[in-house]
Amino acid sequence: MKELLLIGIGAGDPDYITMQALKALRRADVIFLLDKGAAKHKLNALRREICARYLEGHTPRFAEGMQPEREREAADYRASVDELNRDKQAVFEQLIDEQMADGEVAAFMVWGDPSLYDSSIRIIEAIANARSDLSYDVLPGITSLQALTARHRVPLNSIGRAVEITTGRLLAEGWPQGVDSVAVMLDAKDTYRGFVGQDLHIYWGAYVGTADEILIAGPLDDVAERIAVTRLEARERNGWIMDSYLLRKSGTVRN
Ligand SMILES: C[S@@+](CC[C@H](N)C(=O)[O-])C[C@H]1O[C@@H](n2cnc3c(N)ncnc32)[C@H](O)[C@@H]1O
């Protein structure tokens, strides 16, 4: 049997890694990394840093696969994600077949937590269902939203109320029903700007937990343009950006 561990490593600061995740990494014979090209080398550098800093003499080997690219402007978003996941599955299967021996343990160091806007669990489940020589486990990590709310020192929800976690693409269709707090990820298009004039408060963060971290918070009407300019500059400077934000109806900010 081969054993796969999907390990959440937290979303930025190497110190977000949990004791449980470290114990799991110390069991790994091999760590699988997906190379996402030059712009995202920093994310793999963080993975290697966690291993160098915390594995206490345990030295698993690293095996790299090429991360397939999704077509960003595809008309059919769902179809483009399905296609990406099929390509990723082929890369994962190749790593499992060629880079680990029977009886070995392999780890994927998943950004943040594997359950949040990440397809690794779905992909590994599909692979494991199709063969009898593979078992897998999932270990939780600190999500980018937990990092964001901690750095802004705010609760995710207001008292007794629901919060919706969504994407920029879905928020563009309108404010979700029945919630006063909305946490937004994967927004490449500054969707918050469409909500200026609606008495909202925003807590925005880019590269949260890393040395490049930027935080801006305030009434949306006051800070939306500053966020847009800062975001653009940061993306140009670094070649890529990962940012997320919490929007809250202003009347409930202190609740
Ligand atoms: C594919 S999702 C992965 C989320 C991850 N599994 C998690 O638990 O946070 C990528 C999105 O997460 C958010 N994100 C991840 N890391 C972040 C960070 N350090 N700072 C701000 N947002 C981050 C961004 O919205 C980015 O577009």
Q: pLDDT tens digits for the chain (255 residues)?
A: 999 999 999 999 999 999 999 999 999 999 998 877 655 678 888 898 899 999 988 999 999 888 777 666 677 777 887 888 888 899 999 999 999 999 999 999 999 999 999 999 999 999 999 999 999 999 999 999 999 999 999 999 999 999 999 999 999 999 999 999 999 999 999 999 999 999 999 999 999 999 999 999 999 999 999 999 999 999 999 989 999 999 999 877 666
List the domain boundaries for the chain: 2-139, 144-252
Q: What is the CATH number of domain 2-139?
A: 3.40.1010.10
**Residue 86, pLDDT score:** 84
**What topology is assigned to 144-252 in CATH?**
3.30.950
Determine the distance separating the centroid of ligand 1 and the alpha carbon of 24, expressed in angstroms: 22
pLDDT score at 134: 96
Q: What pairs with residue 166 in β-bridges?
A: 184
Tell me what pLDDT residue 80 has. 82
Q: Within 10 Å of residue 30's Cβ, how many Cβ atoms?
A: 17
- Verify whether ligand 1 is closer than 6 Å to residue 139 (CB atom): no
Q: How far does the centroid of ligand 1 lie from the alpha carbon of residue 101, in Å?
A: 32
Helix 120-129 to helix 77-99 angle (10° resolution) is 60
- Out of 244, 246, 247, mutate this one to test ligand 1's pocket (max ligand atoms within 8 Å of CB): namely 244
242 Cα to the center of ligand 1, angstroms: 6
